[in-house]
Chain A
C-alpha cells in the first residue's frame, strides 16, 4: 500500500499554518445584519409579553423577532439520520423558556453594537415558574418542563412528560438476578459524571443570505451540512432544494456542531428581511446556551467468580437531558451498549435507563456520546472487582474481554469481526512499565506514584442508519477530485478520503484534491459524527473509485480497440495485459473527456451504508503522582494502545488519540461544570472552566496494534471518539492504587480526593 498508513500531511495544512482566511467569519463580506439573541435569565418561565418598541428605536435596528414571528414547527436540533428517536420538543422561539440562556427573542441590526443595545432594550415580561434543577427529583417535581400538547415523539421511547420523563427503557439477556445469586462476589456502586463543554476553539457561527438563484444559503461552522439543510427546510416549510448549506473550514466541533446552534436564528432573520445575516456566539454563549455532555448517574452491579470471570452485570442509568432532548436517546443508549459488551463472558446482562428533563442547559453530542460515561462506570467497577478478588486488573481484563469472532449480546448481538484488544492490553502494560510500577511506590513523605488502567470500545458509524456518499471525478488534467459531504471539522477527513482514493486509483496523493462542502454540489452525507467518516464515507470513496476505474476502462477499451477484459488499470495508464505497449495514459483519457465526441465524463458517485458498527478497541494506562496532603493528582504518563483497524493516516490517527486522551484527562481532573441554585452556569468562561493547558498533561504516548476489519476501507475502523473514554476510569483506579479510595464522582478535584482519604482514615 502506498498511501495508506502513511504520515500524509493534511491537504489544508499550508493554508492553516499561514493563517489564510478560510473560516466562516473570514470569508463573509459585509454589509450584513448582526443577529443577537435575547436570553432568559430564568431557568423556567412563561413569556407574557415582549415589548420591542425601545429596541426598534436604536439607530440601525432591523427587526426583533418573537415567538409570534417564527413558524410553530416542533423540531429537534440534534443532527441525526432519519431513523433517530429524539423527540421534537423545540421551537425556534416559544412563549416558554426552559433554561437560563434559552432564547426569548431575536434581534438584528446593522452593527454588532446596535444589535447588542437592542438585545438589552427588548423588554420581556416573564412569569417565573418553578424549575426542575436536579434530575433526581425531576419525576416528583411540581414543574413540568414540557407540558405542550404538540410535543412529538415516537411511542417506543416511553415518554411521560407529566413526570419529566423524556424516555425510559431496558434491554438485556439472560436472568441477571439468578446469575448474581450464583456468583462468588457481587459488587454494586453508583457513579456520577457531570456535564462537560466541548470547547472547540471556534465558537458557533453562521452567515445566511439569498444567493443569486434565490436559494436560502447558509455558510456554517458545522459538522452536519446536509442535516442543517434538512432542518432549516423543515422548520421554515421550504423545499429542501431551495436551501443551500456551505461548510468552510471549521475550527473544531467534538460533537458540539452535530447540532444546529445558530443556523435557525440567522435564517429566520434572512427570511424576514431578505438581508444577509451573521450570527456569532461568543464563548459565554457557547458555554451556556448550546449543549453539553449529558450528566449521568450510573448504578453498576457486577457478579464474578473467584477466578475472575464476570458472569453477570447490570447497569441502571439516569441521564439528565436538560431542557431539550436533542441527543438524549442516542447518548443514553451508548452508555450501556458500548460499555457492557466489554464483559465478553457475561452470561447475563441488564441495562435500564431513565432520561429526565430538567431546566438546565440541554445535553448534546460530545465525543464519546454517552459511551464515555458508561465506560467510566463499568470499567471502574471491573477494577473494583479485580481488587476485591485480589487480581491484577490486567488479568481481569484478559479473562473477560470479548475476543474476535465472539457474539456480543449487549452490542446489539453483533459479532466482533476484528479485535486485537488483548494485544493492545499487553502492549500498553509494557509501555507503562506496569510490572515495576503496580500498584504504587512512595516517592516522598507525601507523594505516591501509582498506575491504573482501563479498556474501552466505541463504534464505527451507526449500523444500518448512517448513509454516506462520495463523488470521485477525473478532471481534464488527469488529476482527481474527491467530493464529500461529511464536514471535516479539523480532524482531516478530507485528507483521509483523498488517501483512500489515491490508494484505489493507484496514484500519488498529490494528484488527488478535495472540494469544499456545498450541498448544491457535494454528494449527500449524514455528517461528520458517530466515528463514521473514515469507515462509512471511506467505503463510499472506495466504491466510487472502483466505478470510476470501470468508466475509464470502458473508454480505454474503445480508444485502444481492445476488449476490456484484456486491459489492466495501472494507475497512470491502462494497458493491455499481454501487450503493455498497447496503452493509454490516464491524462490522455482525461483529455478525451473534453476533446472526443463520444467520450463521457468520468465521474462516479457511490453511497455506502454499513449494517454493522465494528468497534475500535483500546487500552489506556496512566501513571499519576498523588499528593496525600492536598489530594492533588498529577498525571505523569499516559500510554495507550489502540486497535482502530488499519490506520489510514499515521499522524492524524495519533493526534486524534493524543487529543482525545487529553480531553479525557480534562474531564477526569479539571472540568467541573457548576450551576447556581437558580440554574445559572457558574463557570461559563475559560477563566473559570479549565480545559487542560500544556502544563497539565504529560506527553501522551500512543501505539497502534491494528486488526483488519473486513467491512472497512482497507481494514479500517474508527478512531475519533474511543480515545476520550479511558482516562477517567484509569485515573480513578490509579488513585485507588495510590491510597485505597474509590473515586466515583467526576472530576477528581483535590478536595474530593482529600476528603475521601480522610474519610477512609476515620
Chain B
C-alpha cells in the first residue's frame, strides 16, 4: 500500500507491504539507530516517536503512520548529543545498543513530564531495558541533564 509520511522532517511517499514492521521500514529508510532487542514489546530498544509520542516500532502498525510524523534518533541528533554527553560523562552508554531507544524515551519524557521526581522517571522509563548498566548511571545522567536544563531555562 501507498503511505505518505514525514520521517525526521522529510516527506516520504512509499509503497510498502501492509504487514511490514515500522522498525524494518525505518531501518530500510536509513534510520539505523533503531534497534530490535526482543520482538516481544518488552525492551524498548525500538522506541521512536509518532507525532511526538514514544511508541514501539517493532509492533506499531506501519500503515498507521500514513499522514503522520515519525521521528527517530536521526531526527533529533543535536538533542541526543546534548543528553548523550551527560550519559558519556557517567559511562552510562556502555555497549550503547539500548542507547537510541532509551534516549528517545528520555527526550519524550522531558517533553511530557515537568520536573519529574526519580520515581516518576523510573516509572516512565520502565519499558527501557538495559543489561549493562544496572540503571544507576542512567539516572545520574538524567538528573544532571534535567538540572542543567532547569538552570538555563
Does A578 make an interface contact (CB < 8 A)? no
Partner of A17, one of B96, B123, B136, B139: B96
Inter-subunit contact B89/A7 (CB<8 Å): yes
Does A489 make an interface contact (CB < 8 A)? yes
Does B14 make an interface contact (CB < 8 A)? no
Whole-angstrom distance between the alpha carbons of A700 and B35 in the complex? 27
Does A301 make an interface contact (CB < 8 A)? no
- Determine the chain B residues whose CB is within 8 A of the CB of A687 once the complex forms: 38, 40-42
Does A694 make an interface contact (CB < 8 A)? yes
Does A60 make an interface contact (CB < 8 A)? no
Interface centre among B84, B96, B99, B100 (most CB of A within 10 A): B96
Inter-subunit contact B90/A655 (CB<8 Å): yes
Would you list the 3 A-B pairs with minimal beta carbon distance, nearest first? Answer: A490-B95, A17-B84, A19-B33
Decide if the interface of chain B is mainly helix, strand, loop or mixed. Answer: loop
**Nearest CB to that of B17 among chain A residues?**
A113
Inter-subunit contact A283/B37 (CB<8 Å): yes
Inter-subunit contact A14/B134 (CB<8 Å): no
- Determine the chain B residues whose CB is within 8 A of the CB of A15 once the complex forms: 96
- Determine the chain B residues whose CB is within 8 A of the CB of A697 once the complex forms: 134-135
Does A675 make an interface contact (CB < 8 A)? no
Whole-angstrom distance between the alpha carbons of A740 and B18 in the complex? 58
Partner of B89, one of A9, A22, A202: A9
Whole-angstrom distance between the alpha carbons of A254 and B97 in the complex? 14
Can you list 24 A-B contacts (CB < 8 A)?
A10-B93, A13-B87, A17-B84, A17-B103, A20-B33, A21-B33, A200-B132, A201-B132, A202-B35, A202-B95, A252-B131, A283-B39, A490-B94, A490-B95, A490-B96, A655-B92, A655-B137, A658-B135, A658-B136, A662-B134, A685-B39, A686-B129, A694-B122, A694-B125
Does A651 make an interface contact (CB < 8 A)? yes
Interface string of A452-479 (1 = CB under 8 A from B): 0000000000000000000000000000
Whole-angstrom distance between the alpha carbons of A697 and B97 in the complex? 21
Partner of A252, one of B32, B33, B95: B95
Whole-angstrom distance between the alpha carbons of A692 and B133 in the complex? 11
Whole-angstrom distance between the alpha carbons of A662 and B132 in the complex? 9
Does A249 make an interface contact (CB < 8 A)? yes
Does A438 make an interface contact (CB < 8 A)? no
Interface string of A650-661 (1 = CB under 8 A from B): 011011001111
- CB contacts under 8 Å to A, within B118-147, are 122-123, 125-139
Does B62 make an interface contact (CB < 8 A)? no
Inter-subunit contact B88/A9 (CB<8 Å): yes
Whole-angstrom distance between the alpha carbons of A659 and B138 in the complex? 11
Partner of A658, one of B34, B80, B129, B134: B134
Inter-subunit contact B95/A13 (CB<8 Å): no
- Determine the chain B residues whose CB is within 8 A of the CB of A652 once the complex forms: 91
A655 and B84 in contact, given A19-B99, A251-B95, A687-B42 (Cβ under 8 angstroms): no
Q: How many residue pairs between the two chains, A and B, have CB atoms under 8 Å in the bound complex? A: 181
Inter-subunit contact B73/A19 (CB<8 Å): yes
- Determine the chain A residues whose CB is within 8 A of the CB of B131 once the complex forms: 198-201, 252, 254, 659, 663, 691
| Min CB–CB distance B114 → chain A (angstroms) | 21
Whole-angstrom distance between the alpha carbons of A483 and B139 in the complex? 33
- Determine the chain B residues whose CB is within 8 A of the CB of A9 once the complex forms: 88-89, 91
Whole-angstrom distance between the alpha carbons of A15 and B85 in the complex? 11
Does A284 make an interface contact (CB < 8 A)? yes
- Determine the chain A residues whose CB is within 8 A of the CB of B99 once the complex forms: 16-17, 19
- Determine the chain A residues whose CB is within 8 A of the CB of B85 once the complex forms: 17
- CB contacts under 8 Å to A, within B57-83, are 72-74, 77, 80-81, 83
| Min CB–CB distance A25 → chain B (angstroms) | 8
| Min CB–CB distance B12 → chain A (angstroms) | 19
Does B43 make an interface contact (CB < 8 A)? yes
**Nearest CB to that of A652 among chain B residues?**
B91
Inter-subunit contact B81/A17 (CB<8 Å): yes
A19 and B129 in contact, given A283-B39, A492-B91, A658-B134 (Cβ under 8 angstroms): no
Inter-subunit contact A26/B32 (CB<8 Å): yes
**Nearest CB to that of A22 among chain B residues?**
B96
A693 and B134 in contact, given A17-B80, A17-B87, A686-B42 (Cβ under 8 angstroms): no
Inter-subunit contact A695/B123 (CB<8 Å): yes
Whole-angstrom distance between the alpha carbons of A662 and B72 in the complex? 29
11 extra interface residue pairs, beta carbon distance < 8 Å, beyond A655-B132, A661-B134, A686-B37: A16-B99, A19-B80, A198-B131, A200-B132, A201-B45, A651-B89, A655-B134, A658-B135, A659-B94, A691-B129, A694-B122
Whole-angstrom distance between the alpha carbons of A13 and B92 in the complex? 9
Whole-angstrom distance between the alpha carbons of A10 and B132 in the complex? 14
Whole-angstrom distance between the alpha carbons of A663 and B133 in the complex? 9
Does A677 make an interface contact (CB < 8 A)? no
Does A542 make an interface contact (CB < 8 A)? no
- CB contacts under 8 Å to A, within B10-67, are 32-35, 37-43, 45
Partner of B84, one of A13, A21, A491, A685: A13
Whole-angstrom distance between the alpha carbons of A198 and B91 in the complex? 21
**Nearest CB to that of B91 among chain A residues?**
A651
- Determine the chain A residues whose CB is within 8 A of the CB of B33 once the complex forms: 18-21
| Min CB–CB distance B81 → chain A (angstroms) | 5
| Min CB–CB distance B141 → chain A (angstroms) | 10
Inter-subunit contact B126/A693 (CB<8 Å): yes
| Min CB–CB distance A262 → chain B (angstroms) | 16
